[in-house]
Amino acid sequence: MDVPPAIRSFVEGARYDPIHIGKSAASVFRLRTHGGTLFLKTCSVTDKDGLGTEADRLRWLAGRLSVPEVVSFAKDDGREYLLVTSLPGVNGVEAGREYPESVAAGLAQALRMLHAQPIDGCPFDQTVATQIKRARQWVATGLVDETDFDEERLGRTAQELLTDVDAWQPTDEARGLTHGDPCLPNVMFDAGTFIGFVDCGRVGVADPYQDLALAARSIASNLGREWVGVFFKHYGLPDPDERKLAFYRLLDEFF
């Protein structure tokens, strides 16, 4: 693969293995280098997610949370490239096949720890108003993939879902440091023990329900619905607000 000089110096002679798990629009590769394993993400500069935002978040999270370190970030010929270190272990989908209870409980405890972090000085705004504004921009520019909606919304348009967002928007919104997309492919475990988070491009200040909604959906899909209750029990929220969970799953359709 041809990469910019700022990336090339770290990956000379590396073996590139494509990674297909997850829903990121970026192409992801595991690189076997002489110095160890690295991960390379690349996407068009016109992609709605962007890798510069993730690089900024990873740098800010360093020392605050167990996340990959940024090795290099570069742009070249209309593409962005983000090279990061690897975390040990396997993602939550793989770990959950053998340790479903430990993974559900471990993710809950990791999110509870994350949401308790101080948000003073966090420069990343992921509040509802900011996300809805971004969603409107992406609908207007045709960047929302309507074929990737959850099953209950397939066949509807992004514009129709914007109407639902306005109708369902919660009247109360808490604030906490959130991952933004803590689905099991984005969480690393050693057996059933939490190791850290990856794919941190949506980290920011938001209502913790943002994380809870997407984590619970991922647990139901990948481990089984019987583990969702375990997740909420270990988070300390045995009776979650189902309307807020539904709202944040709806909002996620745009991203």
Segments in 90-141 forming alpha helices (H): 92-98, 100-115, 128-140
> Which is the catalytic residue, given 181, 199, 211, 252?
181
Contact 168, 209 (CB under 8 A): no
**Residue 16: how many CB atoms within 10 A of its CB?**
11
Q: Mind giving me the DSSP string for 193-243?
A: EEEEE---TT-EEE-THHHHHHHHHHHHHHT-GGGHHHHHHHHT-SS--HH
Contact 198, 58 (CB under 8 A): no
Strands 193-197 and 187-190: antiparallel
145 is catalytic: no
| Catalytic center residues | 181
